[in-house]
Amino acid sequence: MTAGQAKPAEPAVADGLQERFDATIARDQRIEPRDWMPEGYRATLIRQIAQHAHSEIIGMQPEGEWITRAPSLRRKAILFAKVQDEAGHGLYLYSAAETLGADRADLTERLIEGRQKYSSIFNYPTLSFADVGVIGWFVDGAAICNQVPLCRSSYGPYARAMVRICKEESFHQRQGYELLMTMMRGTDAQREMVQDAVNRWWWPSLMMFGPPDDNSPNSARSMAWKIKRHSNDELRRRFVDMTVPQAEKLGVTLPDPELRWNEERGHHDFGTPDWDELTRVIQGDGPCNARRVERRRTAHEEGAWVREAALAHAAKQAARTARGAAA
Ligand code: FAQ
C-alpha cells in the first residue's frame, strides 16, 4: 500500500463486533443465532452440543436392551418412556447445533465414522435389570449435576434446550432410585444385584464429568465464554456430595474405601478415578464402543427409506403449496 491509498476495510471483527460479543457475555446475557460470534466460540459449541446429542442417542442403547426383558408391564412402560425421552433430547440438541450452521446428517456421519465423541458412560454393558435403576440414579443424576448449570449457558438455543431436558432427567433419576428402593425391599438376590450394579457403575459415572481440571484442555476457554459454568472437578464433587446420603438411605455401599466426610472442607473426600481407563474408553477401547457404534450405523442405514420418504413428502407438499399460491 502506498502513502495516500485508502486502507482496506478491516475484517468485520474490528467493527466493534468482538466488543459487543464480549459485553454480552460479561452482562450474562445470551448470544443468539443471529448475533456475531467468534469462530472459536461457534466451533466449541458445535463440538460440545454434537457430543451431547450423540450421547443422548447412543445412550438409548444400554437401557433399551432391557425393554423386552422388563419384569412387569409397569416397568416396561416406564423404561419405554425414558428411552423415548432420550431420543427427544438428542433431537433438541441436534436442532440447537443446526442453529450454529452444523448439518445434522453430517454430524451423524461423523458419529458413525468415529470422528466425533459421545459420553464414555454408554460404553459399559447393562448386565442385569438393576443396571437400569443404577443408570437412572447415577447417570441421570450426574447428567443433572452437569446440565442444570448449562441452563445458564451463554448460547440461547443450548440453554433453552437444557431447561426441558433437565426436567425430564429429574424424572429419570427418580424412576431409577424408586426402582432400586423396590429391589432393596425385595429378596437377598435382588439386593445383591443392586450392590453389584452400584459397584460397576460408580467409577464410570464419576468419569462422565470429564478429565481432572489440570488435564481439561477445553475448560478455561469454555468457562471464559460461559458455555460451561463450573469445572469438571467441581461438578464431580457436587455429584459425590449429593449421592452419598442417597446411598446411605438406599442401604448400598459406594465402592470407594477413601470416601469420607471432611468436616473442615464441608465436602466428601473420595478416591481418584482410573483416568487411563477414561482415556481408553474415549479413544474407542471401552467394553461396548464397537457394538454401540455398529448398532447406530445399522439403525441409520435401515432408516434411509424413512428419510427418503419424508423428503419426498416434503417436496410434494411444497409443490402443492406453490401450485396453490400460483392459482
Ligand atoms: N466421555 O477439555 P475437556 C446423559 C472429551 S448425557 C467422552 O474437559 P469439555 C443423558 C471432551 O469432549 C451425557 N468424552 O472437555 C442420558 C474433549 O474432547 P475433544 C453427556 C469426554 O468439553 C442419561 C476431551 O475429552 N453429557 O447422560 C468425556 O470442556 C441416561 C477433553 O475434555 C454432555 O455431553 C467423557 N466422559 O468437558 C442419556 C454434557 N469427558 O472434543 C441416556 C455436556 C471429556 O476436545 C441415559 N458436555 N471428554 O476432542 C459437557 O459438559 C462437557 O463437554 C464435558 C467435557 C464435561 C463432558
Cell representation of residue 274:
482410573
pLDDT for 11 equals 54
Does the beta carbon of 86 lie inside 6 Å of ligand 1? yes
The closest residue, in CA terms, to atom 44 on ligand 1 is 210
Does the beta carbon of 143 lie inside 6 Å of ligand 1? yes
pLDDT in tens, 126-142: 999 999 999 999 999 99
- The long-range contacts involving 37-40, CB below 8 angstroms and separated by at least 24 positions, are 38/13, 40/221
Cα-Cα end-to-end distance for the chain? 58
192: amino acid identity, one letter: E
**Residue 14 pLDDT greater than 90, yes or no:** no
Does the beta carbon of 231 lie inside 6 Å of ligand 1? no
pLDDT for 4 equals 42
Say whether 155 sits in a helix, a strand or coil.
strand
Give me the residue label for grid cell 447417570: 139
* Cα 178 to ligand 1 centre (Å): 27
* Cα 168 to ligand 1 centre (Å): 19
* Cα 300 to ligand 1 centre (Å): 23
**Residue 10 pLDDT greater than 80, yes or no:** no
Give me the residue label for grid cell 468419569: 207
Please tell me which residue, 15 or 84, carries the higher pLDDT value.
84
**Contact in structure between 93 and 85 (CB atoms under 8 Å):** no
**Contact in structure between 144 and 169 (CB atoms under 8 Å):** yes
pLDDT in tens, 104-128: 999 999 999 999 999 999 999 999 9
- Beta-bridge mates of residue 155: 31
Q: Is the dihedral of CA 308, 312, 313, 317 positive or negative?
A: positive
Give me the residue label for grid cell 467468534: 38
pLDDT in tens, 265-322: 999 999 999 999 999 999 999 999 999 999 999 999 999 999 999 999 999 999 999 9
Cell representation of residue 37:
460470534
- Beta-bridge mates of residue 261: 268
Ligand 1 pocket test: pick from 119, 134, 135, 150 the residue with the most ligand atoms within 8 Å of its Cβ: 119
Note the residue count of the chain. Answer: 327
pLDDT in tens, 303-318: 999 999 999 999 999 9
Ligand 1 pocket test: pick from 213, 282, 283, 285 the residue with the most ligand atoms within 8 Å of its Cβ: 282
d(CA 243, CA 138): 8
Does the beta carbon of 144 lie inside 6 Å of ligand 1? no
**pTM of the shown model:** 0.94
